[in-house]
C-alpha cells in the first residue's frame, strides 16, 4: 500500500471516532467539560520528573524553563475550563416573542455551539504550552470539540507521554472514545490528510509562515472550507521614542538585551527589529546593548536544524548591503548554539530591502537608525502584520505622535507601551493574533479565554418549546450565566 493511502486510512479511522465522540461530548454540560479539563491539568501537574527529563533531552530547553512551561500549561487548562463554565463565550441571546405585533415576532434564542473535530499542530518551541495538552487543545476541548493532535517530531516522546496523561483523564472522567487522539507520521502528507478530511472542522497551528500558510490554503480549498488558525511569524518591532530614550537609554538597553536573548530568542514575540532615532541617546542605548549582549552566553537551540538555520539566516543578513554588526556574544559556544547578535542598518537601506524585515528565529535583533520621526511611520507602513508592536515612550512622546500610533495599531494584535513583547500573559484581555502573516486570522486569539471562540459558531433556535432548549437558553437561567435578553445583558432568570 502506498504511504499516502496508509495515512488516509489511519486519519479516517481517527476522524470517524472523533466524529462519534463529538456527537456525545458536544452535549455535555459546561460543568462536565470543565471537570475534564481539570482532570487533564491534575494529571499533568502530578506527572513526575521523567516527563521534564525526556523533554529536556528532546528540546535542549532548560529544566527551569520547562518546569515553568508545564505550570503555565496546567494553569491554561484550568483557566480555559473556568472560562468555559462562565458561559460568557456562548454569547447567549434571547429575544422573546411579541405575538401581537404585525407580523408577530417569534421567540428566537441564540448561542455558540462547538464546530466539530479540531486538528492541532504544535510548534517545536513550546513542547507543553502550545503542544499536546497546550492552548489549542485546551480551548478546543473547552469549546466542546474533540481534538486530534499531530505530534511534532521535535518532541515526540514528550508528546506521547502527555497524550498518555490525557488518555488517563479521559478514562477517569468517562469521556467518549476518540475525544482525544494523538497521531504521528514522519511523512508530511499526514498534515494534508488531516486538514482535508471532511470531519475536520477547524485547525490550530503554531509554527512557520510557510507551513501555516499551506495549511490555510488547504483549509480554504476544501469543498467545504474550514477555519485554519495558524499562528506564524512576527518580527515584533519596537519603536524607541526620543523622549523615553533620553530618560532611560541604559535601562531600555538592558531590558532589550534580555528580551532578545530570552529562551535563545526562540519566541514568536521575540523583538527582531528595533527602530531608533540617530542621537547621542541612541548611541548610549547601543553602547549598553552591546555591552550586555557580549556578556550573554550562546546557548543550545531546540535542535540542530534550527541552530543551523539561525546561523545561516543571520550570516546572510549580515552580508546585506549597509548592515553592520553592533555586538556578538563574546562567550564560548558549543554545538547547535544560537549566538546572541545585534546588527544595525540605516532607515533608507531598511526601507529599500524587504529581506531585512524577515523573521530570524533566534537571539538576534536589527536596530534601524532613522533621521526623523517621519521615517518611523514609513517603516510602520512598510511592515507586514505583527503579533505585537512596542513603543518605548513618555506620555509626551505619545501625545505628539498620534499618526504614528495609528499606523502601529493597524499593524498589530497587541500594542505594548514601555515593556517587552516577550512574555504572553494568559488572561482574557490577551490578544495573541495579529494581521496576516502574524496569524491567518487576526480576528481571533490563540491565548486567553477568548481562544475558545475560534471553535464555535452560533445557532439560533426559533420557537422552541422551553423544556427542549439547551439549558443555556431556557427561560429559567439554570446555569446563572450572562445572557442578552431583549437587548439587555443580564443574569436574570
Positions marked catalytic = 231, 268
- Shortest reach from residue 430's CB to its own copies, in Å: 6
d(CA 413, CA 111): 26
Provide, rounded to whole angstroms, the least separation between the CB of residue 304 and its own copies.
Answer: 31
- Which of 12, 42, 45, 91 binds its own copies (CB under 8 A)? It is 91
Whether 232 contacts 437, CB under 8 Å: yes
Residue 117 lies near its own copies (rule: CB under 8 A) = no
Separation between Cα atoms, residue 303 and residue 287, nearest integer Å: 32
Q: Which of residues 406-425 bind its own copies (CB under 8 A)?
A: 406, 409-410, 412-419, 423, 425
Residue 75 sits in the site that holds its own copies (CB under 8 A): no
Torsion of CA 415, 417, 422, 428, to 10 degrees: -60
Q: CB 323 → its own copies: shortest distance, Å?
A: 25
Residue 14 interacts with its own copies (CB under 8 A)?
A: no
Distance (Å, rounded) from C-alpha 168 to C-alpha 178? 13
What region, left, alpha or beta, does residue 251 occupy, with left being phi > 0 and alpha being psi -120 to 50 degrees? alpha
Within 461-480, the residues that bind its own copies by CB under 8 A are: 461-465, 467-468
Give the three-state DSSP class for 364: strand
Give the one residue of 105, 280, 305, 371 binding its own copies; rule: CB under 8 A: 105
For its own copies, the binding residue among 456, 472, 477, 479 (CB under 8 A) is 456
Instruction: Quote the cell numbers at residue 453.
Output: 471562540
Is 89 within 8 Å of 450 (Cβ atoms)? yes
Q: Does 258 bind its own copies (CB under 8 A)?
A: no
What is the Cα–Cα distance from 76 to 61, expressed in whole angstroms?
Answer: 20
Choice between 274 and 391, CB closer to its own copies: 391
Closest C-alpha among 224, 192, 68 to residue 121: 192
Task: Report the residue count for the chain.
Answer: 493
Segment interacting with its own copies (CB under 8 A) among 133-141, 166-174, 352-360, 483-491: 483-491
**CB of residue 91 to its own copies, shortest distance in Å:** 7
3-state secondary structure of 309: helix
Residue 198 found at the interface with its own copies (CB under 8 A): no
The number of beta carbons lying within 10 Å of the beta carbon of residue 468 is 8
Q: Do residues 364 and 341 touch, judged by C-beta distance below 8 A?
A: yes
Q: Does 216 bind its own copies (CB under 8 A)?
A: yes
CB of 65 to its own copies, least distance (A): 13
Contact stretch for its own copies (CB under 8 A) within 222-230, 260-268, 304-312, 316-324: 222-230
- Scan residues 275-294 and list those touching its own copies (CB under 8 A): none
Using CA atoms, how far residue 223 sits from 115, 432, 468, in Å, is 17, 29, 33
Footprint of its own copies on 368-397 (CB under 8 A) = 384-385, 395
Q: Does 224 bind its own copies (CB under 8 A)?
A: yes
Q: Does 358 bind its own copies (CB under 8 A)?
A: no
When binding is defined by CB under 8 A, the residue of 33, 110, 152, 244 that contacts its own copies is: 110
Amino acid at each position: 500500500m502506498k504511504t499516502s493511502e496508509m495515512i488516509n486510512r489511519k486519519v479516517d479511522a481517527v476522524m470517524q471516532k472523533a466524529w462519534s465522540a463529538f456527537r456525545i461530548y458536544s452535549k455535555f454540560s459546561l460543568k462536565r467539560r470543565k471537570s475534564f479539563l481539570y482532570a487533564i491539568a491534575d494529571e499533568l501537574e502530578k506527572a513526575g520528573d521523567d516527563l521534564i527529563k525526556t523533554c529536556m533531552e528532546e528540546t535542549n530547553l532548560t529544566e527551569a524553563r520547562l518546569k515553568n512551561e508545564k505550570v503555565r500549561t496546567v494553569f491554561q487548562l484550568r483557566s480555559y475550563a473556568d472560562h468555559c463554565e462562565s458561559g460568557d463565550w456562548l454569547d447567549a441571546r434571547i429575544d422573546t416573542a411579541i405575538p401581537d405585533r404585525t407580523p408577530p415576532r417569534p421567540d428566537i434564542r441564540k448561542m455558540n455551539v462547538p464546530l466539530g473535530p479540531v486538528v492541532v499542530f504544535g510548534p517545536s518551541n513550546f513542547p507543553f504550552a502550545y503542544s499536546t495538552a497546550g492552548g489549542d487543545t485546551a480551548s478546543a476541548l473547552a469549546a466542546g470539540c474533540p481534538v486530534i493532535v499531530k505530534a511534532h517530531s521535535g518532541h515526540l516522546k514528550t508528546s506521547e507521554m502527555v497524550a498518555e496523561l490525557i488518555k488517563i483523564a479521559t478514562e477517569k472522567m468517562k469521556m467518549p472514545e476518540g475525544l482525544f487522539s494523538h497521531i504521528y507520521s514522519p511523512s508530511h502528507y499526514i498534515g494534508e490528510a488531516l486538514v482535508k478530511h471532511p470531519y475536520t472542522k477547524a485547525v490550530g497551528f503554531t509554527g512557520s509562515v510557510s507551513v501555516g500558510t499551506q495549511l490555510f490554503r488547504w483549509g480554504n480549498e476544501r469543498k467545504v472550507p474550514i477555519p485554519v488558525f495558524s499562528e506564524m511569524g512576527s518580527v515584533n518591532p519596537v519603536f524607541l521614542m526620543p523622549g523615553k530614550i533620553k530618560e532611560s537609554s541604559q535601562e531600555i538597553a538592558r531590558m532589550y538585551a534580555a528580551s532578545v536573548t530570552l529562551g535563545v530568542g526562540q519566541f514568536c514575540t521575540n523583538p527582531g527589529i528595533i527602530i531608533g532615532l540617530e542621537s547621542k541617546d541612541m548611541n548610549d542605548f547601543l553602547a549598553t546593548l552591546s555591552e550586555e549582549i557580549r556578556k550573554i552566553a550562546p546557548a543550545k537551540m531546540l535542535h540542530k536544524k534550527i541552530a543551523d538555520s539561525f546561523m545561516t539566516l543571520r550570516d546572510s543578513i549580515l552580508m546585506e548591503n549597509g548592515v553592520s554588526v553592533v555586538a556578538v556574544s563574546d562567550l564560548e559556544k558549543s554545538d547547535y548554539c544560537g549566538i546572541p547578535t545585534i546588527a544595525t542598518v540605516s532607515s533608507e537601506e531598511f526601507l529599500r530591502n524587504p529581506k531585512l524585515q524577515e523573521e530570524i528565529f533566534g537571539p538576534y535583533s536589527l536596530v534601524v537608525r532613522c533621521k526623523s520621526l517621519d521615517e518611523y511611520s514609513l517603516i510602520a507602513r512598510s511592515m507586514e502584520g505583527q503579533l505585537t508592536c512596542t513603543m518605548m515612550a513618555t506620555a509626551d512622546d505619545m501625545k505628539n505622535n498620534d499618526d504614528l500610533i495609528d499606523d502601529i495599531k493597524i499593524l498589530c494584535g497587541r500594542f505594548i507601551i514601555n515593556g517587552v513583547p516577550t512574555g504572553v500573559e494568559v488572561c482574557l484581555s490577551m490578544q495573541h493574533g495579529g494581521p496576516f502573516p502574524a496569524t491567518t486570522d487576526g480576528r481571533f486569539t490563540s491565548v486567553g479565554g477568548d481562544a475558545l471562540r475560534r471553535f464555535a459558531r452560533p445557532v439560533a433556535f426559533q420557537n422552541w418549546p422551553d423544556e427542549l432548549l439547551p439549558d443555556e437558553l431556557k427561560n429559567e437561567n439554570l446555569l446563572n450565566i450572562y445572557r442578552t435578553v431583549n437587548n439587555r445583558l443580564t443574569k436574570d432568570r
